[in-house]
Structure 1
Amino acid sequence: MQIQILKSKVHRAVITEANLNYVGSLTLDEDLMDAANMIEHEKIQVVNVNNGERIETYLIKGKRGSGVVCLNGPAARKGAEGDVVIIISYALMDFEAAKAYKPVVVFPKDGNTL
């Protein structure tokens, strides 16, 4: 049996931009992506702590060290600059292997830095 489990998350990052006039996705500082073991184009869930919105989208690499967390396209309507978000990725795994798996959790500091 295969199940979906938490693979990794960036816990309580702060939205730095919302760009409605973009195709879609979430732009994330590449340092945060690396720390959370996430890759470009990976499917993610974004949970907005301020308003309770939950969206599914995919990642785009943001400039390394910039602290960027930008909601793009329609997602830009689900959050605003300054909102706190949790960025989550999941993995499909064998049930027994999933029991031993430990997710990667990143806690950004001020400015979405490590």
Structure 2
Amino acid sequence: MAYRTMLKSKIHRATVTQAELDYEGSITIPPDLLQAADILPHEAVHVWNVTAGTRFETYAITGLPDTHDICVNGAAAHLVTPGDLIIIATFSSIPEAQCRSYEPIVVFVDANNCQKELRLERAGVKAEFVGA
């Protein structure tokens, strides 16, 4: 069976609140955003810095409940500045027969990293609103 690597989920235009160089690595993401985007602790994530144009891969760790901090840790902290807008994305291997109907999760956040919208995206179709 053939598989393709497809976008699984993304948190769109989150704002970096901290960059901690003296930490062992990772990106700290609030638990409500992890849940909305179906990202597990220690799952690999791609981070695309909309502000600076940099990209890197790391892994997610869970932030404190009821906080809205997005903190890039370790060496990747050199690639961001607090206030930068980023996209956090995950990918998954999907059987090729399912790829055309597959719908990744897109979590939109406001300037304070609070979820404002959640959508399912289908290739070639405008994203479907799921809820806030």
Q: Could you list the runs of 5+ residues in structure 1 that have no partner in the other structure?
A: none
TM-score after normalising by structure 1: 0.97
The residue identity in structure 1 corresponding to 2:28 is T
- Return the alpha-carbon distance in structure 2 between the equivalents of residues 99 and 43 of structure 1: 24
> 1:23 corresponds to which residue?
24
Counterpart position of 2:41: 40
1:28-107 pair list within 5 angstroms: 28-107=29-108
* Partner Cα distance (1:42, 1:49) in 2: 22
Letter in 1 for 2:18: E
Query: Which residue number corresponds to residue 118 of structure 2?
Result: none
CA distance in 2, matches of 1:29, 1:22: 17
Kindly provide the amino acid, as one letter, of the partner of residue 23 in structure 2: Y
- Please identify runs of 4+ aligned residues in structure 1 that moved more than 4 A: none
CA RMSD, Structure 1 to Structure 2 (Å):
0.7
Deviations 1:23-79 (A, max 9, x none): 001000111111111110110100000111000000000112211110000010000
Q: Given the two structures, how large is their TM-score scaled by the length of structure 2?
A: 0.84
Q: Secondary structure at the residue paired with 2:98?
A: helix
1:4 partner SS: strand
Where structure 2 has 5 or more consecutive residues not aligned to the other structure, the ranges are 116-132
Give the length in aligned residue pairs.
114
Offset, 1:110:
2.8
Query: Identity over aligned residues, as a percent?
Result: 39
- For residues 50 and 5 of structure 2, what CA distance do their matches in structure 1 show? 23
Q: Does the 8 Å CA contact 1:65/1:113 hold for their aligned counterparts?
A: no
Whether the 8 Å CA contact 1:26–1:69 is kept in 2: the answer is: yes
Q: Which structure's residues are more often helix, by fraction?
A: 1
Is residue 14–residue 81 contact of structure 1 (8 Å, CA) maintained in 2? yes
1:88 Cα deviation from its structure 2 partner: 0.3
Q: Which has the larger radius of gyration?
A: 2
Distance in 2, matches of 1:64 and 1:113, equals 12
